[in-house]
Amino acid sequence: MRKTWLIFSQAVTVSVAVLFVVATLKPDWLRRSGQQGMLPNIVSIIEAPADSASGVLRAQSYSAAAKRATPAVVSITASKAPARNPHSNDPWFKFFFGDQGPNETQPQVGLGSGVIVSPEGYLLTNNHVIEGADDIEVQLADQRRARAEVVGTDPETDVAVLKIDLDKLPVITFGSADTLEVGDVVLAIGNPFGVGQTVTSGIVSALGRNQLGINTFENFIQTDAAINPGNSGGALVDAQGNLLGINTAIYSRSGGSMGIGFAIPVTTARQVMEGLIRDGQVTRGWIGVEPRDLTPEIAETFNLPIEEGVLITGVLQNGPASAGGLRPGDVVVKVGDADVTNTSQLLTAVAALKPREVTTIRVQRGDKALELKVTVAQRPKAPPRQVQPE
């Protein structure tokens, strides 16, 4: 009996010693054994398959949209010849100041972006990117370069159309800005600060932004996708890479992005482009009035039975509105079939009319609602970068 107990004690001691050695030198042997024997289901719940994890990452990536759109987005370098001093040919002037007088200025160079919209080489960009330029060079994403010809510009929407002569041009696909909703994902593509083509992402923050004092006709898409100097004229695209707008301006205290950027809807840009290519100019309607938003205070002062509309503060003598019977103090509430609640809507509604077209303008004159027939004229061409009243 004593011999049996001695053998048992020695066996236990050896087993404990072996277990101690294994636990110290090869602890993974014990964990693997325990997992296989006791926790077979927990492992399958905790560990996701490798392909499933990569699938989640692909679903959150916009690389396909970027690859589709970026080849059609170009960098634009617009340069203006230096202004020459009027006395530069005077021998005494050269004697004192040399060939480079104190008033000689260096060439002005501006950087921006553009979007190729047709295989024929037409590009959309901003008017302010190329305004006053003597030479415009376009660089494609594939590093090809070409001189650009100005087809036409429209300062009132800040849209310009250029043309380049190259083969096998990448072309962007037009999307639908009319179906955009706040919260939709968008990408901004351009050449900020001249560092090279850059893609940023964000969402649509607001639609129909106007009265910003940027252009005459404003209907901006607002986004928080980073837009910086050099992005002007670049593309705002959806999550599939379709063109939604032309990046135009930012709200900034520092000159850099603060999460408030504005893009011209592609619908507006396309209409302007077609007019410039077809006619060399954009033809818009005009009636010759000075408008102002109707406020509740003004409505109360004039005892008007309405609260929304556009107050006419001035009418051009012998102009279309005057001939149609419109008077200062009238409040426009409808142009044709379009309701009018602010100045921007009045400008847009009238501009959409064709010259020599007769339209019905509904106005509130005191306590009377009137319908006036007005023969629309062609809107005079605006001086660059100036806003004209309708």
Which residues are tagged catalytic?
128, 158, 232
Give the three-class secondary structure for 286.
Answer: strand
146 CB contacts (<8 Å, ≥6 apart)?
A: 137, 138, 140, 164, 165, 166
Rounded-to-integer distance, Cα 283 and Cα 285, Å: 7
Q: How far is CA 242 from CA 20, 64, 67, 103, 176, in A?
A: 66, 11, 11, 48, 8
* Distant-in-sequence, close-in-space partners of 378: CB < 8 Å, separation ≥ 6: 283, 284, 285, 286, 355
Yes or no: say if 244 and 236 are a contact pair by the CB < 8 Å rule: yes
Burial grade of 389 (CB within 10 A; 0-12, 13-18, 19 or more)? middle
CA distance readout (Å), 308 to 146, 249, 340, 389? 51, 29, 8, 19
How many whole angstroms separate alpha carbon 236 and alpha carbon 72?
12
Q: Alpha-carbon dihedral of residues 59, 63, 64, 68, nearest 10 degrees?
A: 160
Cα distances from 356 to residues 6, 168, 379, in angstroms, run 120, 42, 11
